[in-house]
Amino acid sequence: MYSGRVFPSPSVMRWRATSVKRLSMFVLRAKAQLSDATDDFLLLLEDFAPCRQGDQIKGCTLHEAEVCIDELVRLHGPLWNSPFLATLPWLNRSSDSDRSGSQALMRQVFPGFLARYADRLDPHARRVGEEFVRDAGGYFRRTLPHRTVVHGDFRLDNLLFRAAGGATEGAGGAGAGSTAGGVGVVDFQTVTHACGPQDLAYFIGAGLTTEARRTHERDLVARWAEELRRYGVQLRADDAWLEYRRYAFAGFVMAVVASMIVKQTPRGDEMFMAMANRHGVHAADLDSLSAVRGEA
């Protein structure tokens, strides 16, 4: 149970109150009350035991990645290009001003990030990061080709792997009760109205080790795009892959910015380095700079 004014954010409360039942993903059942006047809240979450929290540093297996991708489809599919999302005044729109602010913040904190972590940063990640900060192309300012619900922090530390036979009915829509051996998603503080491949690249880019990602990412991206068809989403494989390449920078930006604005801890340093290095190498492998600059 959480109560107070700090955690979770009001967006989590409003998300649960207005939108969760429109999805087919598994979301922990909750009882919530929020004061619009003061942002005081009370949130009681379902007991999800027995389960195991994912480990961002260690990474996950291919099977676990597939389960997570399937759950991501259940988040993205039901409200893909849905006009309903435009009716939610509290939902972050990923507007031009928001994205330009993110670019300015990235430029502001990147020198300090390099100074702090220079001896731990992969050379490929450093080079692609420096080039991205110098010229991010259209990453922060382009018109998005499609929009849906985006979690914004869909990574292993925010995923709970359910032991087989331990599923409950959950709070989602159709199919929410069939998650034995599946995954529960938590921490919707960064939920936004944005481009689905952002979550996809964010998860694959650091959820798998670099070698595992190189081996399996094509199949995982194809799995996501193909499963979206169950919701009537027609997304060409080439278009899905291009957006995936562009959003290889999503996790790198998060690792850089978050590491410089939260309290520094040994575990946090290890986690942010795992993310920055994997996402940086990911962007280098896929020549994501060319993708965001419109060159390929």
What pLDDT, on a 0 to 100 scale, did the predictor assign at position 2?
Answer: 43
Q: What is the pLDDT along the chain (296 residues), one digit of tens a residue?
A: 444 444 445 555 555 555 556 676 776 777 777 777 877 777 787 787 888 999 999 999 999 999 999 999 999 999 999 999 888 887 887 666 666 788 999 999 999 999 999 999 999 999 999 999 999 999 998 889 999 999 999 999 999 998 765 444 444 443 333 334 478 888 888 889 999 999 999 999 999 999 999 999 999 999 999 999 999 999 999 999 999 999 999 999 999 999 999 999 999 999 999 999 999 999 999 999 999 999 86
Note whether 209 and 59 are within 8 A (CB). yes
The confidence score (pLDDT) of residue 169 equals 44
Predicted local confidence at residue 167, as pLDDT: 46
Domains of the chain, first to last: 48-292 (3.90.1200)
- Whole-angstrom Cα distance, residue 250 to residue 272? 13
- Using CA atoms, how far apart are residues 193 and 177, in angstroms rounded to an integer? 26
Q: pLDDT tens digits, residue range 31-51?
A: 777 777 877 777 787 787 888
Q: What is the predicted pLDDT for the residue at 82?
A: 94
